[in-house]
Amino acid sequence: MHISEKEIEIRYAETDQMGVVYHANYIIWLEIGRTKLIEDLGFTYAGMEEDGYLSPVTDISIQYKAALRYGQKAIVRTWVEDHGRLRTTYGYEVLHEDGTLAAKATSEHVVVKKDTFRPVSIQKIYPEWHAKYEEIKRKSPDGVRN
């Protein structure tokens, strides 16, 4: 399993009246982490869009564990949790600098044609990308791929 890491400097504008990071900002950070993972693997979302494809979110789930605050740094860890013919699920951890878990999340995506929004198999349009995701997706504790 390949895990990508991205450090985020928390800006004042990302906090709420209580002085903690506003919950919706985590979704932005997940996107930053996902983009970093894809780039680490040698691919780009921008290239996908130039080719006429999009990868919309079909589901997202976040569990908040420990507040982050202005002036701190967050570390976003991202991996491929599962990958199938049409759907890819990414896993995330957002950590404090000391490793304390601030949030954990998953997001599910499909690839669609930009002009029709019809789903397409990433295996057909990007066989190398598909093969890399198959190679790195998370394995269950018994060693079998999810």
Residues identified as active-site: 16
Residue 75, H or E segment:
strand 73-83
DSSP secondary structure letters along 31-61 = HHHHHHHHHHTT--HHHHHHTTEE--EEEEE
Name every residue whose Cβ is closer than 8 Å to that of residue 123 and which is 6 or more positions away in sequence.
85, 130
